Structure 1
Amino acid sequence: MKYYIIAGEASGDLHASNLMKALQKEDVNANFRFWGGDLMQSVGGTLVKHYKERAFMGFIEVILNLNKIFKDLAFCKQDIEAFNPDVIIFIDNSGFNLRIAKWAKQKGFRTNYYISPQVWASRAKRVHNIKRDIDAMYVILPFEKDFYKDNFNYDVTFVGHPLIDAIADRTQIEEAEFRAMHQLNNKPIIALLPGSRKQEITKMLSVMLSLVHDFKDYQFVIAGAPSQDYEFYKPFIKNANISFVENKTYDLLSVSTAALVTSGTATLETALFKVPQVVCYKSSAISYEIAKRIITLKYISLVNLIMNKEVVKELIQKDFNKNRLKEELDLILNSEKRDQLFLDYYDLEKKLGGKGASEKTAKLIYESIKS
């Protein structure tokens, strides 16, 4: 079978690569063509365009790059027609993918979506288009199945969260080996996960690193995103208590005492490693004001959304400042808040449905094509 897969950022690259591996087990003749990243490329097939080439953050940046986005859309359609896949698999990345899905459905291609767009967060009316354009939706968050069914009478399949597999199946490393490999001292580690886009990282690190002098008994370690190279991070490493690890976030979390995390998939990854965290987010004033008017959620972190309560503290926009961050970091390092976090994290993992998300999804996709 021929599979055309479209993923748009680092997390999509991870989940798509694991899905591809699972599809290879179901279909020994699997032929992949994809938009994604290095992890997908390592599985095999043809990389059409890397997500690094189209990583735009915020409403303003998207507007400034509209011409490039429209060119990518046109090229993608041409490339799909030339490849003529048995199925197109969309991975998150809703702004791009839903436009391609509308066109693809009209052209008669089979359309599957793995990892739902966050329609439950904003612009829920998009579900009407999803029902029209997507043959099968595979969701990874437990509340999404009820959201689609109760509000739009749309049956989707909950397959569990692929992060559980990604974390369980990784090659583990001993803490002493990790410290030696990255020349870290013996101080407890505070992991900094500032996001994946340059604009985002710069905003986050400027505040996160302002705490270094207040926590001299800890080692601050920046988790480098696969989408950026060391030279970009180099100006931030101005102190002996600041270190950097490149593309080793899971290893870093496995040995960390606490973490400061930019909102996104990383909040859930941090929770699954049972690391107490403070969730941080700050965008441009204009983007924030626009987002406030269209996002209806009570929380921004996946941890709190899944648990439907405040498990981890969220510092958003003006609240994301040195004083508030210092106060919350103190709490998760030294108080009973830390113990409660561990209990909530275990409950969170139970809600996510256990291992096997990639395998379940691959089997369902392959069987649907055969039938």
Structure 2
Amino acid sequence: MTVKIAISAAETSGDLIGSKLVAALKAQNVTVQIEGLAGDEMVKAGCTQLWDQKQVNVMGFSEVLKKLPSLLRLRKTMIDYFCANKPDVFIGVDGPDFNFVIEKKLKQQGVKTVHFISPSVWAWRQSRIKKIKKSTDLVLCLFPFEVDFYQKHKQRAVFVGHPLAETLHPREGYQSTKTILLMPGSRVSEVTRLLPELLAAAQIMVQQDPQLKFHVVLANDELLAWAKPLATDANVCISVGDAHQRMPQVDLVLVASGTATLELALIGVPMVVVYKLSAFSYFIASRLVKIKWVSLPNIIANKSLVPELIQGDANGENIAQYAMEILNGNGQNLVAEFKKIHQQLTLNASEESARLIGEFINE
């Protein structure tokens, strides 16, 4: 009998991680049918795309409000479809605010539900644990400290490691290229706020070291069209979609807070982390966050490994100052800390998750 799996990946990072899970599920059972809300990487891995992940890839409270009507329509369409075509299991990949409602409705209809990638409920909006318990039968956690939180609240959860640790490894014998990578994020809202500040930092840095070269990596051609007029300096180049090829080849990355910070840590690349929301979004978020840091390397290590510049502090002058301190310093201790993170997260997460989901379906 063919196993039918429904899946929903609501963000770019979820598409990447979801693609590895889809591939592992296919390897475990070649006849499995996987369909749902997916991005390009998940489609390549064998998922049938019923809805395009780009439809829900937004960031921040004010940004979500603008797209709320279309988001609600899409979610209702997905719920209606999977209620009429019940899968053996529904997997929500990240995107908790979008996926939990779907999970809750399907769970009420007797569909088993899994949430792959625990939301940061341990960090902010901890009251969401009530929603999680009503929505999700099983939470698959990418970080070990997350399981402790769920155990306290009697929610079934398992640490599976991080899929990115399977494919990203610490670089060895790196020699300086005098190249700095600028990664302002994947969403229009964050790129428009952060890229001007990153380029301003680049101008300051090249004045201090004329040998420095800068490369901006963007997520898509839409962002490229917007950014090209800004990056007119001869020492700044722009490309689209090749971040993973470029990350191991640079001395430092100026990066928006998000999954990219973990990717850099797994490779062992120093970074300055920047984070900037709209004034309204930040006003709300700053009152809900329960942790000291915003970047994953610092959260995992439970100490300040990399600089974090938030809101008004994320300006060209500050970014340049921290960046030059890193470039002029000795980064061996930082690289050693990054290797510890890699070792901690390496558990063959995709295969382990696929195995647990298979067992869960057959319970």
If the TM-score is normalised by the length of the shorter chain, which range does it land in? over 0.9
Given candidates 352, 356, 360, the residue that maps to 1:360 is 352
Task: Map 1:10-159 to 2 at 5 A.
Answer: 10-150=12-152, 152-159=153-160
Q: Give secondary structure in 2 for the equivalent of 1:190.
A: strand
Counterpart for residue 162 of structure 1: 163
Instruction: Classify 1:143/1:228 alpha carbon distance in 2 versus 1 (closer, same or farther; 3 Å).
Output: farther
TM-score by length of 1: 0.91
What is the RMSD computed on CA atoms of the aligned residues? Answer: 2.0
Instruction: Classify 1:48/1:272 alpha carbon distance in 2 versus 1 (closer, same or farther; 3 Å).
Output: same
Given candidates 335, 342, 351, the residue that maps to 1:342 is 335
- Aligned-residue identity in percent: 37
Given candidates 254, 260, 282, the residue that maps to 2:254 is 260
Instruction: Classify 1:79/1:314 alpha carbon distance in 2 versus 1 (closer, same or farther; 3 Å).
Output: same
Q: Distance in 2 between matches of 1:36 and 1:166?
A: 21
Contact 1:10/1:227 (<8 A) preserved? no
Contact 1:195/1:262 (<8 A) preserved? yes
Task: Map 1:205-284 to 2 at 5 A.
Answer: 205-214=195-204, 215=206, 216-226=210-220, 228=222, 230-284=224-278
Counterpart for residue 290 of structure 1: 284
Counterpart for residue 300 of structure 2: 306
Matching residue's letter, 1:11: S
Offset from partner CA, 1:70-114 (integer Å, 9 cap, x none)? 111111112212332111001110111011111111111110111
Contact 1:272/1:349 (<8 A) preserved? yes
Q: Give secondary structure in 2 for the equivalent of 1:235.
A: coil
Compute the displacement of 1:252 (Å). Answer: 0.6
Structure 2: segments with no counterpart, 5+ residues: none
Counterpart for residue 183 of structure 2: 193
Structure 1 residue runs of 4+, over 4 Å off?
226-229
TM-score by length of 2: 0.93
Instruction: Classify 1:190/1:92 alpha carbon distance in 2 versus 1 (closer, same or farther; 3 Å).
Output: same
Contact 1:3/1:32 (<8 A) preserved? yes
Q: Give secondary structure in 2 for the equivalent of 1:65.
A: helix
Q: Distance in 1 between matches of 2:142 and 2:219?
A: 23
Structure 1: segments with no counterpart, 5+ residues: 176-185
Counterpart for residue 179 of structure 1: none
Q: Distance in 1 between matches of 2:78 and 2:348?
A: 30
Contact 1:167/1:250 (<8 A) preserved? no
Q: Distance in 2 between matches of 1:257 and 1:19?
A: 31
Q: Distance in 2 between matches of 1:228 and 1:328?
A: 30
Contact 2:7/2:37 (<8 A) preserved? yes
Q: Distance in 2 between matches of 1:224 and 1:343?
A: 29
